[in-house]
Structure 1
Amino acid sequence: MTPRFTCFSVRHLAGLLATSLFGAVVACQPDSPAPNTVSQATSNGLSALPTAAPAPADNPSSAAKVELGRLLFWDPILSGPRDVSCASCHHPASAYADGLDLSIGPNGQGQGSQRRFRQPNDLPFAQRNAPTVLNVAFNGIGPDGHCDPTTASMFWDSRAQSLEAQTLLPIATLAEMRGRQYSEAAAVDSVVARLRRVPEYQQRFAAVFGGVAPVSAANLGRALACFERSLTTADAPYDRYLRGEQAALTDEQVQGLTAFVQSGCPKCHTGPMLSDYQTHVLGVADNAKLGATDAGQNGTYAFRTPSLRQVAATAPYMHNGTMSTLAEVVRFYDAGPRGGRASLNPNVPNARLDPLLPTRVTNQQAIVAFLGSLSAGSFDRTVPARVPSGLPVGGSL
Structure 2
Amino acid sequence: MRWWVFVYIIGLASCLCEKPQQEPAEVAGIQLLGALPSRAVDPANNPSTPEKVALGRLLFYDPILSGDRDVACATCHLPEFNYAEFLETSIGVNGQGSGTKRHFKLPNDIPFTKRNAQAVLNAAFNGIENNKAYQAEMAPMFWDNRAKGLEEQALLPIKTLEEMRGRQYSEEEILPEVLRRLRKNPIYQGQFESVFGSESEAVTEQNLAKALACYERSLIAPNSRFDQYMRGDSMALSLGEKEGMNLFLKMGCAQCHSGPMFSDYKLHTLGVPDSKNRAESDSGANGQYAFRTPSLRNLRFTAPFMHSGQFATLQQVLLFYEDIAGGKVLNPRVKPEQIDTLARGMDVNFKDISRVVEFLQTLNDDNFDKSVPERVPSGLPVKGNIEN
* C-alpha deviation, 1:105, in angstroms: 0.3
Q: How does 1:76-87 map to 2 (within 5 A)?
A: 76-87=63-74
Match of 2:159 among 147, 154, 172: 172
Q: TM-score, normalised by structure 1?
A: 0.87
The correspondence of residues 1-397 of structure 1 with structure 2, limited to 5 A, is 32=21, 34=23, 47-210=34-197, 211-335=199-323, 339-357=325-343, 358-362=345-349, 363-397=352-386
Deviations 1:263-299 (A, max 9, x none): 1111110000000010000111111111110010121
SS of 2:291's partner is: strand
Q: Which stretch has the larger CA shift, 327-336 or 377-386?
A: 327-336
| 1:33–1:200 CA distance, 2 compared to 1 (3 A) | farther
Structure 1 contact 145–272 (Cα < 8 Å) conserved: no
Q: Once structures 1 and 2 are overlaid, which stretch shifts more, 233-242 or 171-180?
A: 233-242
Provide Cα deviations, 1:83-126, integer angstroms capped at 9, x if missing partner. 11000111101111011010110111222222221222211100
User: For residue 383 of structure 2, what is the amino acid of its counterpart?
Assistant: G
Cα separation, partners in 2 of 1:152 and 1:259, compared to 1, 3 Å? same
- Please report how far the alpha carbon of residue 145 of structure 1 lies from its aligned counterpart in structure 2 after TM superposition: 3.7
- Post-superposition Cα deviations, 1:283-339, rounded to whole Å, max 9, x if no partner, equal 111111111100101211110001111123210000010111100001111148xx5
**Partner SS, residue 303 of structure 1:** strand
Contact kept, 8 Å, 2:33 with 2:262, in 1: the verdict is no
Tell me if the contact between 2:24 and 2:239 (Cα under 8 Å) persists in the aligned partners. Answer: no
Aligned CA distance change for structure 1 residues 206 and 291 (closer, same or farther; 3 Å) = same
Aligned residues of 2:33 and 2:254 also touching (Cα < 8 A)? no
What whole-Å deviation, never above 9, does each CA across 1:23-44 have from its counterpart, x for those lacking one? xxxxxx996474797xx999x7
Instruction: Report the AA paired with residue 389 of structure 1.
Output: S
Deviating more after overlay: 326-335 vs 112-121: 112-121
Structure 1, 215-224 or 311-320: larger mean CA deviation: 311-320
Distance, in Å, in 2 between the alignment partners of 1:252 and 1:121 is: 50
Find the structure with the greater CA-based Rg. 2
Report if the CA contact (8 A) 1:75-1:387 is conserved.
yes
TM-score normalised by the chain length of structure 2: 0.89
Structure 1 gaps of 5+ residues are 1-28
SS at match of 2:277: helix
Q: Is the 8 A contact 1:283 1:345 kept in 2?
A: yes
User: Partners of 2:73 and 2:200 in 1: how far apart?
Assistant: 27
Deviating more after overlay: 327-336 vs 154-163: 327-336
Q: Which amino acid in the other structure matches residue 374 of structure 1?
A: L
Q: Do the aligned residues in 2 keep the contact of 1:36 with 1:246 (CA within 8 Å)?
A: no
Aligned partner of residue 282 in structure 2, secondary structure: coil
Q: What amino acid is aligned across from residue 137 of structure 2 in structure 1?
A: T
Q: Match of 1:367, as an amino acid?
A: V
Partner AA of 1:381 in structure 2 = K
Residue identity opposite 1:205 in structure 2: F
Q: Is the 8 A contact 2:34 2:130 kept in 1?
A: no
User: For structure 2, which runs of at least 5 residues remain unmatched after alignment?
Assistant: 1-17
- Give the AA of the match of 1:271: G
Q: Cα deviations across residues 243-273 of structure 1 (Å, max 9, x unaligned)?
A: 2333332222111100000011111100000
Post-superposition shift, 1:219?
Answer: 0.3
Q: Distance in 2 between matches of 1:205 and 1:195?
A: 9
Percent identity (aligned): 50
- Per-residue Cα deviation, 1:183-226 (whole angstroms, up to 9, x for no partner): 01111111111111100000000011113100000000000000
